[in-house]
A and B are shown apart, each in its own frame.
Chain A
Amino acid sequence: MNTGTLFIFLFFIVSIVIGIWSKKGKEMNLEQWSVGGRGMGTLFIFLLSAGEMYTTFTFLGASGSAYGEGGSIFSIVSYGCIASIISYWAFPEIWKYSKKHKLISQSDFMAKKYESQILGVLVAIVGIVALFCYLVLQLKGLGYIVEITSYGFISSKMAILFGALGVTLFVMLSGIHGSAWTSVLKDILILAIILFLGIYFPVHFYGGIKPMYQAIEQAKPNFTILPEHGMNLTWYISTIILSGIGMYMWPHSFPPIFAAKNAKVLRKNAIIMPVYQLILLFAFFVGFAAILQIKGLQGSDGDKILLLLSKKTFDPWFVGLIGGTGVLAALVPASLILMVISTLFVKNIYQVLVPTRSESQIGKLIKFVVPFITLIGVYFTFKGGNSLFSIAIVAYNFITQLAPPFFLSLMKKNFVTKYGAITGIIFGGVIVSIYDLGEKTFAQTFTHLPQLIKDLNVGMIALIINTLVMISVSLISKNSMSTNKKIDIVVEP
């Protein structure tokens, strides 16, 4: 045991304590637990929705991709900005509608907008599958970070088990309040560490940012910009449009929207996000700095580059500090993912099948399901092989395909029918999945985000087909819908 390992333990315990403490005196009914009673201010909403930016990906994937792929990694910054612009108008609309109808999940939203429980269930299933894969990714990342930064003192498996246990505990007790408060500590630490590393490495190894880039340019000409082939300009443009549209289609983007106390909070959030995500730039600097220092790491091994370069450069205590921060970077998003999976499962699938349960029973059930979800997540983290990767790809593809009916439902006069929405989503999702499963190696795609993003330009074609199918089915079914509508009105109380 060394001082570094102490940091890892300390941060782990502190985050769990903060997570549990954050419920202080609140009566944890379902609305309080899942969306913070819709009363959160600018800072918390900001940290919760920015939480997506700063996960284990910041430590592993962002620097790893800069190291391995070069300039194409900057697409993340670009599509983050485009998504922010869309969110300036979309989030307040989502918030108003959800507050009026007391909605707490993305599936709720779609089901209500299109008056279709089947669509709600479809959205919930897609979300659950994708989020499980995302949970596994966070837990695997946690294992990597802790094992490397504790110099093998804590094994990857132990880290995953304890991390999962801790996060389950505070999610059950505090819900979204736990995620929000631990985010405060997490973001401060990540900001400080990434800023420091992103400046220190270029200065230490090259004497500055510009000399670093010049040295890379000499060794690997044009590595820092988009290449002629592969992830080229066409790929970049289609990717930033597609991912800009699809970024907020993830089900765990929704609780932070619902939790806002008013629409203004969400507009402010959209304004700050583009600047805040520039912190990623410093994670890229770390990856670029490593290119001439540690040579020859291939594929997903590149994701360990930040940790390896830190170990090469710093004392163990500082490496431990990085490791402790990495623990938080995994636990906070994992907590939100757990909440959302259990909500989708209980409220949007179970309750649809067994509709007799009361609201408070559902609220309790959602919390009791959390440990089982954690168990399944941990099981897949240890056992999941290539089959998991293919499931992940299918799920990721479907997520983006939710965008056309989702955004059109925000318009005042939406011509899309539930039949159009469902067939469009399935068409788009199936097309892009068939392409990906046939053409790509799944292992690479799953652990390496830009590889994943790379696939999304096929997603663009699928998205267009999805939209065309959606429009034509909607127009065809419109007539039958208008006769059905009379029956709906009678049925609804």
Chain B
Amino acid sequence: MKKIYLLGFIPIIGFVIGALFSNKVTPYVLGMPFFHFSIVLWSLLTTAFLGLIYLFDPANKEEEIE
């Protein structure tokens, strides 16, 4: 397993463990209750982390050679 793949765990931890701390109405962020905002934020971060993994993913290069 490549080290860069470990980044994939961060958003999962963010959703699962993060919920223990984010289940509250205030403070409102971007007009949304904090709980809603935190889930939106982690969705964006999921895309960011997966994008980062993709950039450094050796599998993409190996397939090009094939």
CB <8 Å contact, A82 and B47: no
CB <8 Å contact, A264 and B53: no
Scan A263-305; emit 1 where CB is below 8 A from any B CB, else 0: 1100110111111011001000000000000000000000000
Q: Which residues of A contact B25 (CB under 8 A)?
A: 213, 217, 222, 224-225
Do A237 and B11 form a contact, CB below 8 Å, given A85-B50, A209-B32, A267-B60? no
> Which of A81, A210, A267, A281 contacts B15, CB < 8 Å?
A81
CB <8 Å contact, A233 and B53: no
Q: Which residues of B contact A88 (CB under 8 A)?
A: 8, 50, 53-54
Compute how far the CA of A85 lies from the CA of B11 in the bound complex, rounded to whole angstroms: 9
CB <8 Å contact, A237 and B19: yes
Q: Which residues of A contact B5 (CB under 8 A)?
A: 89
Chief secondary structure at chain B's binding surface: helix
> Taking the complex as formed, is A388 at the interface, i.e. its CB lies under 8 A from any CB of chain B?
no
CB <8 Å contact, B46 and A274: yes
Do A275 and B43 form a contact, CB below 8 Å, given A81-B15, A88-B8, A210-B28? yes
Do A272 and B36 form a contact, CB below 8 Å, given A81-B11, A92-B59, A237-B19? no
Q: Which residues of B contact A272 (CB under 8 A)?
A: 47
Q: Which residues of B contact A77 (CB under 8 A)?
A: 39-40, 43
Which chain A residues in 427-482 approach chain B with CB under 8 Å? none
> Taking the complex as formed, is A5 at the interface, i.e. its CB lies under 8 A from any CB of chain B?
no
Give the distance to chain B from A489, nearest Cβ to Cβ, in Å. Answer: 28
Scan B34-55; emit 1 where CB is below 8 A from any A CB, else 0: 0110011011101100110110
CB <8 Å contact, A275 and B47: yes
CB <8 Å contact, B44 and A263: no
> Which of B16, B47, B53 contacts A237, CB < 8 Å?
B16
CB <8 Å contact, A226 and B36: no
CB <8 Å contact, B28 and A213: yes
> Taking the complex as formed, is A241 at the interface, i.e. its CB lies under 8 A from any CB of chain B?
yes
CB <8 Å contact, A262 and B63: yes
CB <8 Å contact, B44 and A208: no
CB <8 Å contact, A225 and B28: no
CB <8 Å contact, B60 and A71: no
Give the distance to chain B from A291, nearest Cβ to Cβ, in Å. Answer: 13
Compute how far the CA of A272 lies from the CA of B15 in the bound complex, rounded to whole angstroms: 18
Q: Which residues of B contact A71 (CB under 8 A)?
A: 23, 33, 35-36
CB <8 Å contact, B23 and A263: no
Scan A40-84; emit 1 where CB is below 8 A from any B CB, else 0: 000000000000000000000000000000010010011001101
Since A81-B15, A225-B24 are in contact, a sample of 15 more A-B pairs with Cβ atoms closer than 8 Å, ordered by chain A residue number, is A77-B39, A81-B42, A82-B15, A84-B50, A88-B53, A88-B54, A210-B28, A225-B33, A244-B12, A264-B60, A267-B50, A272-B47, A274-B43, A274-B50, A278-B40
Can you report 12 A-B residue pairs in the complex whose CB atoms are below 8 A from each other?
A71-B33, A74-B35, A81-B42, A92-B59, A213-B28, A224-B35, A225-B35, A233-B20, A233-B23, A267-B57, A274-B43, A278-B44
Chain B residues within 8 Å of A, Cβ to Cβ: 5, 8, 11-12, 15-16, 19-20, 23-25, 28, 30-33, 35-36, 39-40, 42-44, 46-47, 50-51, 53-54, 57, 59-60, 63
